[in-house]
Amino acid sequence: MTTPELDTLTAAYAAIEKKLDAGLAGAERDATKKEIIALFRTLEQGIGELQGTLTAMQALKDDVKRLVDKFKAQQAEAAPEFNAEKPVVHADHIGASTFIEKGWSRLSLGDYEAAETALKRALELSPGDPQSEALLGWAQMLQEKYDEALLNFQKVLMKQPANALARINVGYICLKKRIFGEAIEHLSKAIRLDNDKKATLYAHFYLGLTYLEREMYEDAQTFFRKTLALGPNLIEAYYELGRSHWFNGEIEEAKQAWRSGHTANKFNPWGKRCAEVLQTVEAGGEPPRTP
């Protein structure tokens, strides 16, 4: 890769960062995500092809990862955010560890399709590896390939019943597939295990969503409040708490929940959404039935 090519990539990085700093409109999000992934892939390919520019390109690659963090910070989605720790892999003679690390890196970037490809290759080289199966489940779940993801997480739980992250992901998938009984079973078990703070937090939140979907509003409120007690920065819980009050006919309580969410972090996408729905209902509108 020549210096002019690197200058072009640096300019592309700067242009994306400028867009993110200005804030993305809804229609720009998918396109911007694709730009970030394409830039990351080009840099990674260039690093492999020309070691002479490794230092500069590695630094720019790290900067691109920061773009990913900025992009994620602007999203307001109820889907699980990939948060598994970097895998500890050991040198092997068949190369599976290379594909596990590549899969984790792609998941962190948000390039779920490439992550799935890498992790399937890891499992071809090392069949039945629970670490690869768990990461593959994440990659498929975040592409909404729920049946395939569910199969992989179930394989993990057969080998590691105390894997709380795998269990809450099974619960989330069951919620999305509207298999509410199984969702409650898995999420409640994750809470009883209580061996992973992040898993316990999201187990409460997803239970709130499950009861909200079932129109069991008071139960939903209980779990959203517990979520906020465990993780006050999970602003989406304020948004959902407001909806659970609204649909239970508790209008003022709903408005207060949304005010609290916006006050807690007005720059967070969910904080902004709290302000938007509050404005909507005060103008005589209704909050959305879906998140």
d(CA 264, CA 236): 11
- 255-291 in b/e form (b: 16+ CB < 10 A) is bbbbebbbebbeebbbbbbbbebbeebeeeeebeeeb
Residue with tokens 């640096």: 10
The answer to whether residues 203 and 223 touch, using CB atoms and an 8 Å cutoff, is no
109-266-259 Cα angle (round to 5)? 130
* Structure token pair of residue 277: 């729905």
Residue with tokens 């909200």: 212
d(CA 243, CA 215): 11
The answer to whether residues 125 and 94 touch, using CB atoms and an 8 Å cutoff, is yes
What's the mean per-residue pLDDT of the chain? Answer: 87
Percentage, residues of the chain above pLDDT 70: 84
Per residue in 36-53, pLDDT (tens digit) is: 888 888 887 776 666 555
- Give domain limits for the chain: 1-75, 232-291
Q: How does pLDDT run along the chain (291 residues), one tens digit per residue? A: 566 677 888 888 988 888 888 787 777 888 888 888 888 888 877 766 665 555 666 677 777 766 665 665 555 555 666 565 666 555 554 678 889 989 998 988 889 999 999 999 999 998 999 999 999 999 999 999 999 999 999 999 999 999 999 999 999 999 999 999 999 999 999 999 999 999 999 999 999 999 999 999 999 999 999 999 999 999 999 999 999 999 999 999 999 999 999 999 998 899 999 999 999 999 999 999 876
